[in-house]
Amino acid sequence: MMRGLAMNPAVLVLALVLGALPVHRGAAEPATSTGAGGVHFVLDIPYATVGDVTLKLDLHLPAGTPRSPGIVWVHGGAWRSGSKDSMPLRRLVDKGYAIASVDYRLSTQARFPAQAHDLKAAIRFVRARGSEWKFPTDRIVIAGDSAGGHLAALVGVSNGHPDLEGSIGEHRTTRSDVQGIISFYGGANLTTILQQSTPHGLSVRVPALDLLLGGQPDTVPDLARLASPVFHVDRNDPPLLLLHGDQDPQMPINQAHELMGAYETEGLPVQFEVVHGAAHGGSAFYDEERLRVVQAFLERHFAP
């Protein structure tokens, strides 16, 4: 904008009328739409701002009143790629569950623990504001796949941790705890993941961990432990459902075994669904059979 225009209100008004200057319309409103079966979408809702990055989430809302709990979905992508646009649990929305699919800062934008800070801010946001869209706020389950499964488990078992809560967003006094965790083929212990990996897995994990942690786990051991759900499990943690393929060449199935073991040591409710013949991801994890497993988990622990 020219300084002369900024100083002269009459000229400024004339310039706006003639289109010489852009009209400031504020932040873009979330886009809304309705899909098949009456599913309602509210897209690109800003939940926090970090520097010049605006973090957003999408709501997938069923027809009618959603069932409890509300679900926060965390996408995968080796911590360095992916987006909230990838949300494979549409069948659950058709069954009556509301899902908030969340973007977070990727490891190409910020190192860990930025990702945990963002996701906890998203939980605080949906708990504080979700009722505006009829999203259930009393009980929340966090779920994710691959790197998103790792982050979901980490956020789920680290309630109140001073290094992981962060101070992102406007709802800092709102709780960020969750009442359940679902991890689809996610990591659990970054201090052992490389020793358990196949050559293909190493080709993915080594550069991914460099971006996430700023080094390999053995060079930044304290940060690797902070980023590992197994080291945060205690008797206050919520029910956990693990789904992992026994032919996964990229995320070792032993990661799920480790997290299950940590839960069993504390006497916590945990269910491990091995998807026989499955590799890393794919439709087998989100078909009707696995949907029934997930829905049974939700109904068992969150009956009205």
- pLDDT tens readout for residues 201-244: 999 999 999 999 999 999 999 999 999 999 999 999 999 999 99
Does residue 12 form part of some domain? no
Q: Residue 293's domain spans which residues?
A: 29-301
pLDDT at 28: 63
Asked if residue 22 is part of any domain, the answer here is no
For residue 59, give the nearest of 119, 102, 97, 100 by alpha carbon: 100
> CA nearest 146: which of 181, 183, 112, 96?
183
pLDDT band at 31 (very low <50, low <70, confident <90, very high): confident
Lowest mean pLDDT of 12-16, 70-74, 238-242, name the range.
Answer: 12-16
Whole-number Å distance between alpha carbons of 144 and 80: 15
The total number of structural domains that make up the chain: 1
Query: Percent of the chain beyond pLDDT 70?
Result: 91
Q: Which of these ranges, 17-31, 36-50, 142-156, has the smallest mean pLDDT?
A: 17-31
Domain membership flag for residue 240: yes
Under the banding of pLDDT at 50, 70 and 90, the label for residue 2 is very low
d(C-alpha 246, C-alpha 248), whole Å: 6
CATH code of the domain containing 261: 3.40.50.1820
150: in domain = yes
Return the amino acid letter for 98. Answer: A
- Asked whether residue 251 is domain-assigned, the answer is yes
Q: Where are the alpha helices (DSSP H) in the chain?
A: 3-7, 9-18, 90-94, 114-129, 147-157, 162-165, 193-196, 199-213, 221-226, 253-265, 288-301
13 has pLDDT over 90: no
pLDDT tops 70 at residue 179: yes
Residue whose structure tokens are 């969750």 = 178
Residue 40 lies in a domain: yes
Range from 22-36, 116-130, 139-153 carrying the lowest mean pLDDT: 22-36
Which is nearest to 270 in space by CA: 156, 114, 166, 111? 156
Q: What's at 225, amino acid-wise?
A: R
Spatial distance between the Cα atoms of 42 and 132, rounded to a whole number of angstroms:
11
Residue that the structure tokens 């052992």 belong to: 192
Q: Return the pLDDT at 6.
A: 42
Stated pTM of the model: 0.90
Q: Tell me the per-residue pLDDT of 254-302, one tens digit each, with 9 for 90 and over.
A: 999 999 999 999 999 999 999 999 999 999 999 999 999 999 999 999 9
Residue 16: per-residue pLDDT: 33
Distance CA 252, CA 269 (A): 22
69 upstream amide cis, omega within 30 of 0: yes
CB proximity list for 66: less than 8 A, separation 6 or greater: 96, 97, 98, 134, 135, 136
Q: Looking at the predicted structure, is the pLDDT value of residue 27 above 90?
A: no
In a domain, 15, yes or no: no
* 37 part of a folded domain: yes
